[in-house]
Every structure is written in structure tokens, then in C-alpha cells.
Amino acid sequence: MINILKKAGSAKQEEGCVKVEKRKVKIFADSTCDLAPEQIKEYEIQIIPLCILLDEKSYYDGEELLPDEIYRWADANKKTPKTAAITPEYTQKAIAPFMNADEDIIFFGISEEMSTTCNVMRLAAEEFEKGRVFVIDSENLSTGIGLQVLRAAEYAKNGMEAEEIVKRIEEDRGKVRASFVVDTLVYLARGGRCSGATALLASALKLHPCINVINGKMEVGNKYRGSLLKAVMKYAADKEKELLSAREEIVFITHSGIEEEILEKVREYLSSLQHFDRIVVTRAGGVISSHCGPGTLGILYYLK
């Protein structure tokens, strides 16, 4: 009797039956997911670094260059670095050991509206057996990606197959809420994402815009006036109704380098809601920091 338990995977002979074992699922993400090192280690997530270009020299995000170094360079040169996806050759080398170990891969990339990273992984996957590498366009950035990565990692840890993980993640992708309050528009202006005049006006009026990620794109939302602390706390209060409708497991406070007093105030506010099981603070990596500059803070979560 032939008993096929799974179409994909390695076969074992067992008392006259052919049993096909489930493949282990390995979770990959690009470096813009901004997860904490402890989370990456706990879930054994493989990170593919994007590249940061300072003039003619390229650096791997998080491995060769840190945000504070980027700020010093940007301020000294009055411009922001360019960022780029990794090469298909680098990506092929990164996934090869897991392909050779007969594992399936799920890769999460920054929104395809912002980068070619997802397509680079698709190109790299062409060198291996078809149907073994699953690429998810997160339609997000920073821990808006990280939320999806952690959920997928939990599914994989519990033995769920790659196809089902992808299906569940993509069904709930639109429930991720990612937004940030920006302290200064100088970095966005240097990178060509807003005009210098707009940046100067915002600075003069002490305006701190909120950037929302919607359908994979960044859009300007509310503009908060006053000190950064005042702006951030008003932003958090404006989110209260939605926060109380969020999934309870985790909420991220992600920042690009901000005063500890502000971080603590936001943490205290979220704790006062008595809604979330975990409040996790993470520091944004080099790519996100390159574009938004220091003093940026976001609250990121899943809606139910």
C-alpha cells in the first residue's frame, strides 16, 4: 500500500509504506525588518542585509555600518546615503545551505513599492528547485515587516508547512499598522522625498509629520506642533482607539535614535492601556534611519 502523507519532502520507507516527511521551514527577512537581536536569535531568523552607499563605497546594513555613523556622514556631507538591494549572487549563497538541507524558505522583503529586494530573491531562487522559496512582499517597512516575520516564525516553529504559512500571512497582511512621527524633514529633503523649502518651513513652525504606511507606500498623515515629546505623545493618544482594537500579543515601539525620556513616556502610555502582552522597543537599522534621520518614533501592531 502506498500512503502519501505529503507531496513535498524527503521519503522514508516504513513497513511497506512510503512516508514523505514535512520539510522544515526557514524564515528569511531583509535587514529593514528592524527586529531586536534577541528576537532574531530566538527564532533563528536569517537576515539578508540591504546595502548603504556612502559616495562610492557600499556597506552591508547592520553588519558594516550603524545608524549613528550614517548620521555623522550625512551631516558632514549635507546629503543622505543611497540605499540598494543586495545582489542575487549574495542571496544565492545565503539560501544555498538551506536548499541543500532540503528546507523550504519563506522570505520577507520591504515593500516592492520601495525596493527591488523581493525580486532579487526571486531571481536567486531560480538557481534552485522550483517551489522551494516563497517570497512575501510585506507591503511594509521596519517592524511592520517584523510583525509578519515573527508570526511566520511562530507558525514554522509549530510545524506548519510553507504554503499554509504564506496563505495566512498574506490574508492578514492588510491588518498591519505602521506609522512614524518624524522629528526633522531634513533627511527626507536631502533624499529627495520632500522639498528643502518644506523641510525649512516644518522646522520653523516646529511641525512633526506622521508618516503612515498604506498599501506599501508612505503617506503623510497628521502634522503635530511643538516639542518632539509633545508631538509623539499626541500621536500615541490619537492611536488609542485603534490600539485597543489591536492583537494583544505584541506592540513595537521602533525608533531611529531618540531621547530615553520620550521612549519611557511612550512605553508607560502603552502599558497604561493594559492591553498588550509585550511592549518591545527596537532601534531602526541603517536603511530606515538613512531616510528618516534621528528622532523618529513609530508604534506598530496588528489589528485583530
pLDDT in tens, the chain (304 residues): 222 223 345 444 444 454 557 899 999 999 999 999 999 999 999 999 999 999 889 999 999 999 999 999 998 998 888 899 999 999 999 999 999 999 999 999 999 999 999 999 999 999 999 999 999 999 999 999 999 999 999 999 999 999 999 999 999 999 999 999 999 777 766 655 544 444 444 454 468 989 899 999 988 889 999 999 999 999 999 999 999 999 999 999 999 999 999 999 999 999 999 999 999 999 999 998 988 889 999 999 999 9
What order of strands is seen across the sheet that includes strand 25-30?
46-48, 25-30, 104-109, 133-137
**8 Å CB contact between 177 and 295:** no
Q: What is the C-alpha separation between 2 and 210, in angstroms, rounded?
A: 59
The residues, ordered by sequence, that sit 6+ positions from 89 with a Cβ below 8 Å of its Cβ are: 124
Collapsing DSSP to helix, strand or coil, 261 comes out as: helix
Q: For residue 26, what are the β-bridge partners?
A: 105
Q: Is 158 left (phi over 0), alpha (psi -120 to 50) or beta?
A: alpha
Does pTM surpass 0.75? yes
Q: What is the C-alpha separation between 173 and 48, in angstroms, rounded?
A: 21
Closest among 172, 176, 203, 173 to 189, alpha carbons compared: 203
279-283 and 251-255: which strand pairing? Answer: parallel
Collapsing DSSP to helix, strand or coil, 282 comes out as: strand
| Cα–Cα distance list, 105 to 29, 44, 136, 137, 249 (Å) | 10, 13, 11, 14, 25
Q: What is the C-alpha separation between 70 and 58, in angstroms, rounded?
A: 12
Q: How many CB atoms lie within 10 A of CB 88?
A: 17
Q: What is the C-alpha separation between 45 and 40, in angstroms, rounded?
A: 5
Collapsing DSSP to helix, strand or coil, 198 comes out as: helix
